[in-house]
Structure 1
């Protein structure tokens, strides 16, 4: 890990340390901001003592990050257009990351201070969009290409649909509990159980489900939210020390060969579909000679780029064999090939079978560009896990008592948590970031409506207001910080 500072000027090295520290601070804040939602129900229902709940939740968050992969991490990274990712230098990379993180951290701390279950995911994604749009305006690009709008739409839909699904599914699940277990003690609040039975804890089976579902929420939270920090760190490393991180330095000979073969198979794929893709990819035209995609990716240059990748990787077993400038050129070319393949898939001219083949080819192309070193994953896991154990009290009270007009019953806690696990787990399968805060809070609200408990209008209004304002506030803040830094520093 320490060798990444080798050869860096002191100012760049210090900036790198500060950038990495800010990312870990964001994940720490994310831990005590978002994960309070994961332990809110289990603490409020007295299923676990607070100190044990946050300890085990922290461990489950750590394991979630460690085992969750990097699919969501690169979904976040690819919110930025490939043209911006191609041309990151150390100065622009630092300004971009600092602007995003300061904006997201400021919003997270503000909403946490007032005990409002706002979304760290919304804050970070809004900050990324703000930087992308500001970069487009400052560099004279059309606003439409300042952000990868296809990926932004996918993520936006997941962030909108997941809380709505949480509200509806949790409500239906509670109604199912009421029908199947009409006389069960699960429909009592902790206060009612103590008044009737003089018992502090939930019935055994209710308690077991509450504990297991709470820890599962923590695990899927780690596997989803933790990856956002991983993606940010990789942006920092690729921008500041590209020689070491543009391609996975630990790639095996099999992975390098897989990338080499994917380029050949991609060429065969396009030739096979020349009737529908010939004009878009200029398959029948004179080969272009510009093979340096430093400004933008041109689909008409796809076949020469494929040939360049294969020439660069021919006979290569490890990336250490390549000089730094060749590694950078290969990465830029692979990003362009993947970006063009994504655009080809969106043309709507391929059959379902060809679409599936193209997805597999894209996975092979990016096997050595979409990665994260183990130390990055462990560092983010530790930051998120430790953050879980701090600062949970404010949000627990909001979720447990202030969303509904009555306290939460055991059945409501189970329904909300089981729904959150399902929703976030499905999002992980499709590598889509979602908000634990939104899903769980919406689930609790859904159970309150289904239970006819009524909702605290002031609390719900504050939560909705935070959700509505998070995107524009974080976008404006990050765009403003980025613009000021670019103008002031001249990067």
Structure 2
């Protein structure tokens, strides 16, 4: 039974990873598509390839998800079963929240949905939740990365505008369209680096709880490949609802603004993953970077009503996913233990 449950969880984890790519495809390519730097299919294919490459570049975020959110005791049948219940509940909650926010076209964080699900499932199963780690590696980055994205993008955009002020507009925009191919690829690489690792982390918990692998031995190569391919596949089939929100509803972008927003957001993703192992939300970072470059036109250029709806979804993600996971964990624990 334990092995069958582990296999089921691995399948659900890869489904979550697919929805993550599907849900977050807009993060990498919305600005490039909206400015006509890339066609939709070309942008999606490029993003899918870069997601695979990014997913293979590190495991620090995977270890944060696997060990720094809830305290899991392996070894006993009950402890292993509780670990599997928590992981399944977290994945169920994250998938549910991804689909809810996708339906309403809101760019919420798949990462925070998964983390909230782990915390909610852990509470329901009586596990110790590492609140200090959640504060340091989730809540603080959740505030710093969007705020930093807004400020840095605003400053960078002002610098770019001043450097390009005397240049012919149409020729300059053509060059920024070419540059956006690079910035969109960098954003997709950062998405793979961040988000695929989160699925690797929960798969690692499931494999360890099922006695099929040891957490101390790191992430198996096949887990990395499976996570990379499924998030890439989800990205390729990415939906257009959220893409429309990021690409045009927050602000009307030109290629220069799109290039700066993508470059700044990608930089934050790399620093967080490679420097701190922090599971930063790609959604939060690119959205506020878009707001930052837009604010250089004038504050009224940003559609703050749409931005407000996005912020509400951000704030709701952790507690909503935690609540869903807690209910699922309670039901499964009563049925299986």
Does the TM-score normalized on the shorter chain lie above 0.5? Answer: yes
Which residue in 2 is equivalent to 1:387?
234
Secondary structure, in 3 states, of the residue corresponding to 1:245? coil
> In the alignment, is residue 161 of structure 1 matched against residue 144 of structure 2?
yes
Structure 2: segments with no counterpart, 5+ residues: none
Query: Residues 13-24 of structure 1: matches in 2 within 5 Å?
Result: 13-24=3-14
Q: Distance in 2 between matches of 1:85 and 1:48?
A: 48
Asked if 1:238 corresponds to 2:208, the answer is yes
Change in Cα spacing, 1:19 to 1:185, as seen in structure 2 (3 Å) is farther
Partner of 2:334: 487
CA distance in 2, matches of 1:391, 1:218: 13
Q: Does the C-alpha gap of structure 1 residues 23 and 466 become closer, same or farther in structure 2, counting only changes over 3 Å?
A: same
For residue 128 of structure 1, what is the aligned residue in structure 2? 118
Q: Are the structure 2 counterparts of residues 176 and 234 from structure 1 closer, same or farther at C-alpha, using a change threshold of 3 Å?
A: same
Match of 1:103 in 2: 93
8 Å Cα contact 1:74/1:370 also seen in 2: no
Kept after mapping to 2: 8 A contact 1:79/1:128: no
- Whole-Å Cα distance in 1 between the matches of residues 72 and 95 of structure 2? 27
Structure number with higher helix proportion? 2
Instruction: State the partner residue of 2:311.
Output: 464
Q: Is the Cα–Cα contact under 8 Å of residues 74 and 208 in structure 2 kept in the other structure? A: no
Residue 90 of structure 1: CA displacement? 4.1
Would you say the 8 A contact 1:238–1:246 is kept in 2? Answer: yes
- Whole-Å separation in 2 of the counterparts to 1:83 and 1:380: 22
Does structure 2 conserve the Cα–Cα contact (< 8 Å) formed by 1:79 and 1:129? no
Counting only pairs closer than 5 Å after superposition, residues 38-187 of structure 1 correspond to structure 2 as 38-66=28-56, 68-82=57-71, 84=73, 89-136=79-126, 146-155=128-137, 156-184=139-167
Relative distance call for 1:185 and 1:112 in structure 2 (3 A) is farther
**How far is 1:370 from its partner?**
5.1
TM-score of the aligned structures, taking structure 1 as reference length: 0.65
Query: Which has the larger Rg?
Result: 1
**Which whole-Å CA distance do the structure 2 matches of 1:388 and 1:26 have between them?**
12
Residue 378 to residue 83, structure 1, CA distance change in 2 (3 Å): closer
Distance verdict in 2 for CA 1:82–1:470, change over 3 Å: closer
Structure 1 residues 182, 229: CA separation in 2 closer, same or farther (over 3 Å shift)? same
Q: How does 1:391-406 map to 2 (within 5 A)?
A: 391-404=238-251
Are the aligned partners of 2:145 and 2:280 in contact in 1 as well (CA < 8 Å)? yes
Give how far 1:220 is off. Answer: 1.2
C-alpha change, 1:12 and 1:435, in structure 2 (3 Å) is: same
2:125 aligned counterpart, secondary structure:
helix
| Residue number in structure 2 paired with 1:252 | none
Please give the root-mean-square deviation of Cα atoms over the aligned residues, in Å: 1.9
Instruction: Indicate yes or no: 2:212 matched with 1:376.
Output: no
Q: Deviations over 1:310-364 (max 9, x none)?
A: xxxxxxxxxxxxxxxxxxxxxxxxxxxxxxxxxxxxxxxxxxxxxxxxxxxxxxx
Q: CA deviation at 1:35?
A: 2.4
* Deviations, residues 387-421 of structure 1 (Å, cap 9, x unaligned): 001133111211121112xx112121011101111
Deviation (angstroms), 1:91:
2.4
Task: Please report how far the alpha carbon of residue 15 of structure 1 lies from its aligned counterpart in structure 2 after TM superposition.
Answer: 2.2
Indicate how the Cα distance of structure 1 residues 123 and 179 shifts in structure 2: closer, same or farther if over 3 A, else same: same
1:52 Cα offset (Å): 0.8
Instruction: Name the count of aligned residue pairs.
Output: 333
Does 2:270 align with 1:422?
no
Report how far residue 216 of structure 1 moved.
0.6
Cα distance in 2 for residues equivalent to 1:437 and 1:83: 29
Instruction: Determine if contact 1:159/1:433 at 8 Å carries over to the other structure.
Output: no
Find the counterpart in structure 2 of residue 413 from structure 1: 258
Instruction: Give the equivalent residue in structure 2 for 1:446.
Output: 292
